[in-house]
Amino acid sequence: MIKTLRDIPQIQTLLDQPLIKALQAEHGHAQIVDALRQITVTARRDLRDNLDANLPPFDSRQFSEIVEETIKTANAPSLKTVINATGILIHTNLGRACLAPEAVAAMQAVADAPSNLEFDLKTGKRGSRHAHVEALICALTGAQAAVVVNNCAAAVLLSLMATAAGRNVVASRGELIEIGGSFRLPDVIAQSGAALREVGATNKTRARDYAEAIDEDTAVLLKSHTSNFKIIGFTAAPNRRDLARLAQENNVILMEDLGSGVLIDLAPYGLVDEPVVTDILKAGVDLVMFSGDKLLGGPQAGIIAGRADIINDLKSHPLMRAVRIDKLSLAALEATLRLYRPPYDPTQKIPVLRMVSEPLEAVQKRAERLAQDFKHLGLEDVEVFQSTCQVGAGTLPGQGLASFAVSIALQGMSPDQLAAKLRQSETPVIGRIKNDRSIFDVRGLSDTDVLGISAAVSAILKQ
Ligand SMILES: *Cc1c(COP(=O)(O)O)cnc(C)c1O
């Protein structure tokens, strides 16, 4: 038994054990050394903490099995699928939008074979990767021209750099947003080489405020979607038409960082206030940027749509190469955008929109099915209740979406303990905790997810 630190041998001594030597042939020297180091470091820490090191004799088969298990864990994929029962449909930490099968197929098709990514099949000459989606984006948004980059943050940076470096950007004090910690609009403006002219107040900014700030150094009037907070009470923001007129009179560009960017009106599903890209461009905004993997329901991407002369400048800007979209995302984006056009119905075809638009009765049925599964496992304290879920990822702040959830309480296991075990499940399950109960919101779940949750809980009960 291992009782003191002295009982833990040197790595070299362990490597000389016949059973460990045998493992080296299969896993290689380096992996065995790493595993032995990890095991002995843990054992030393346990002893120092006055815990039992809990290790079998070093020359035993059990010990070599522990070494193998350690290697297996180290080699398991780090990035893996989870079940999102948080009630936040587009969860940035959980990978945002899930793709439609058509988008996955398109991605796969260009993944393991050459493609015409930058090759014009008509002329046999070099082509542009933007060509594959530009016409589609224009058709869907009414824009003159469009270009796509790696993500929306890159879209904002590139747009500002190409249009306003060395000049001024006028923005409202009520819209100087921070998103996800590392994207702060004032910092992005600074990074682009432009100077920020803040106007108005936190709660109220008027067109007049923008007008007074415009001078010969002004290049851009910037609007941004306050996508992760809401100011309520006495507020004012100028309407886009007034700003568009102002921009035109002064020969400056009106730009809008939309964040989520929806292509269809979601008001029928109870989500008002999320402006549709088409309307924004119609109101006279020169350039809009939005994400591919938020409400659009596609891959990570940043879409820039608007005036052709500006888009042309972006296409030839030196930063473009550094922020360009990769072929897999491009393939998924093209396929996703096609699902917005007839004969398809995007609310049926695009997973994010299907979640948002699913009738509440169907959501309730799913919750009842999950509750039933829990009861079959022998759980006694199971409740189905109407909940409010969030679209998430900085879209529609403060606007809940009616949903249903199942809450459980286990005998002898706290919600925190259960959550920790669920995170370690083969397919980890991420829910939430409220009032000392474990909660699984079902609007964002598939039928397979429902089975996955009950399987995970079942496995935990058997441990
Ligand atoms: C989410 C968001 C961004 C950043 O988009 P990414 O695609 O994550 O880079 C920028 N601006 C707004 C308003 C957003 O909501």
CATH code for position 390: 3.90.1150.180
134 confidence band (pLDDT: 50, 70, 90): very high
**203 confidence band (pLDDT: 50, 70, 90):** confident
Mean pLDDT across the chain: 93
Q: Which atom number of ligand 1 is nearest to the Cα of residue 300?
A: 7
- For 180-252, where are the E strands, in sequence order? 183-184, 195-199, 218-224
Residue pair 175/373 in contact by the 8 Å Cβ criterion: no
The reply to whether 96 falls in a domain is: no
Report the pLDDT averaged over residues 382-409. 88
* Residues 124, 246 within the same domain: yes
Residues 308 and 383 reside in one and the same domain: no
Q: Ligand 1 centroid to 29 CA: how many Å? A: 45
Among residues 194, 159, 164, 171, the alpha carbon closest in space to that of 243 is found at 171
pLDDT score, position 406: 98
Q: Which of 65-79, 229-243, 378-392 has the lowest mean pLDDT?
A: 229-243
Segment 248-265 shows an average pLDDT of 94
Beta-carbon contacts of residue 298 (< 8 Å; ≥ 6 apart): 97, 99, 103, 292, 332, 333, 336, 337
CATH of the domain at 201: 3.40.640.10
Name the closest-CA residue to atom 5, ligand 1.
152
What distance, in Å, lies between the first and last C-alpha atoms of the chain?
26
Q: Is the pLDDT of residue 213 over 80?
A: yes
Q: How confident is the model at residue 394 (pLDDT cuts 50, 70, 90)?
A: low
pLDDT bin (cut points 50, 70, 90) of residue 33 is very high
Q: Quick one: DSSP state of residue 4?
A: S
Listed residue (196, 281, 285) closest to 246, CA to CA: 285
Task: Report whether 220 contacts 163 (CB < 8 A).
Answer: yes
pLDDT tier for residue 228 given thresholds of 50, 70 and 90: low
Q: Choose the final residue of a domain: 349, 376, 410.
A: 349
Give the whole-angstrom CA distance, residue 18 versus residue 21.
5
Judge whether residue 182 has pLDDT over 90.
Answer: no
Atom 3, ligand 1: which residue's CA is nearest?
259
Q: Please state the rounded mean pLDDT for residues 260-282.
A: 90
Strands (E), 260-411: 287-291, 302-306, 382-392, 395-408
What total number of domains does the chain contain? 3
Using a 6 Å cutoff on CB, does residue 148 contact ligand 1? no
3-state secondary structure of 93: helix
Query: Cα 462 from chain centroid?
Result: 34
3-class secondary structure, 136: helix
What pLDDT, on a 0 to 100 scale, did the predictor assign at position 227? 67
357 shares a domain with 429: yes
Separation of CA 118 and ligand 1 centre (Å): 27
Half-sphere exposure (Cβ direction) of 422: Cα atoms closer than 13 Å = 25
Is there a single domain that holds both residue 456 and residue 432? yes
Domain that holds residue 48: 5-75
For residue 395, give the ligand 1 atom closest to its CA: 15
Nearest CA to ligand 1 atom 12: 259
Do both 124 and 62 map to the same domain? Answer: no
The rounded distance, in Å, linking the Cα atoms of 272 and 266 is 7
pLDDT at 395 over 70: no
pLDDT (tens digit, 9 = 90+) per residue, 330-374?
999 999 999 999 999 999 999 999 999 999 999 999 999 999 999
Q: How many CB atoms lie within 10 A of CB 112?
A: 6
This prediction has a pTM of 0.92
Is residue 429 within 8 Å of 83, Cβ to Cβ?
Answer: yes
User: Is position 48 within any domain?
Assistant: yes
Mutate to test the pocket of ligand 1, among 93, 151, 179, 222 (most ligand atoms within 8 A of CB): 179
Helix (H) or strand (E) holding 172, with range, is strand 168-172
Closest atom of ligand 1 to CA, residue 96: 8
Q: What is the pLDDT of residue 396?
A: 60
**pLDDT tens digits for 272-297?**
878 899 999 999 999 999 999 999 99
Neighbours of 409 (CB within 10 A): 17
Q: pLDDT tens, 306-337?
A: 999 999 999 999 999 999 999 999 999 999 99
Task: Assess if residue 341 is contained within a domain.
Answer: yes
Residue nearest to atom 6 of ligand 1 (CA): 152
366 and 281 in a single domain? The answer is no
Q: Is 40 in the pocket of ligand 1 (CB under 6 A)?
A: no
Residue 224 CA: nearest ligand 1 atom is: 13
Is a pLDDT exceeding 70 seen at residue 141? yes
CB-side exposure of 204: number of CA atoms within 13 Å? 5
Tokens 């940035």, residue located: 92
Per-residue pLDDT, 238: 83
**Is residue 303, in this structure, part of any structural domain at all?**
yes
Residue 257: enclosing H or E segment and its boundaries?
A: strand 253-259
Cβ-based neighbour number of residue 273 at 10 Å: 11
Contact 302, 324 (CB under 8 A): no
